[in-house]
Structure 1
Amino acid sequence: MTELRQIRADFDERTIVVYQAYGPAIAGPAVAAGRFVEPFSRGRMTWIKPSFRWLMHRSNWARKPGQERVLAVRITREGWESALAAAAPTTGDPDVLARAAVHVQWDPERSAAGAPLNHYSIQIGVGRAMIGALVDEWTVSVTDLTPQVHRIAGLIRAGRNAQAVRLLPPERPYPLAPELARRLGIAPRR
């Protein structure tokens, strides 16, 4: 059984993949540089998501204006976990949230077809205080997944869901220290 709240991601020993969707003006330079560069703004919160399917729901499979390019951003696990350690839940104390360098939000995970599932995926809002670390220290690579996104979306529209699901990036439960898991509201189902 899938836990109610669980971080599922594509990761290896050293890195984790998070997804973002941008317009071409931001995505193109980021892909070319292998990290975020201007006109990417370091002056506002940026949301990173380890769930590919959730981002597909959010960006409407790269069809939403300003979200036409889907990027796989490979960052260090050390950076990811320092962001999680600095996170405050968006549903918590507003004063704590206002001071937090990172916001954490849980949203219903989505099926490949976009239907809400009965468990939640995490989104991490990296605030101005940590964006420099995300861009300059944690980011290992930025890859444009837009052609793959369009192919998967086309298969889903054609009713070929099983074939589409095979093309989704692999995601598995991400291990966390028990104390950090508790801080993020992750607990086993009862």
Structure 2
Amino acid sequence: MALAGGKTPMPFYRMLSLECLPWERLYFYLTDERFVPLNSPQSNYKNIRENLGAKAKIIYVNTELPLKDACVDYSQKLPQSLDVCLLGVGEDGHTASLFPNSPCFAITPKVCTSVAPDGTQRVSLSYQYLNSSCVVIFALKGEEKRKVYEKLLKGEDIPASKVKGKRKTFIIYST
């Protein structure tokens, strides 16, 4: 299962951490990561680890490596496809680190790099790889996300609309 960063899914991760799950058989991957040290408050890995707990096996982007090497390394750790992919959506329609009007540079078929509007270098799962997921779940929260939620429902030209699960795509929105 691939996990999104951001604020929206963190309560879900905390709830999940309390469940009696076969943790030894579960693997979690990051949909994207800022190219910052793993202990940085901006790191998706750090935030997900703190909320999901120590039992979870989280496969992360090794940001101690040079960018291209980190992408190749992460790509080699990913399964052929994902069973479930949980994604957030930004107000601008981005998902993972796939931003509107910003090129994504494929390093491997599964992993690409991009630059966020704030200038932060990112590593992201590619459209191709996200679309190989059996199930995609988009989670959006807050009145400020209403417009992008409506665009996603209509299939308007935003990055999130380019991602669909092979079997099913769910869009969950709450205010």
When normalised by structure 1's length, the TM-score is 0.24
- Larger Cα-atom Rg: 1
Q: TM-score normalized by structure 2? A: 0.25
Higher-RCO chain (CA-CA 8 Å, sequence separation at least 6): 1
Greater share of residues in helix? 1
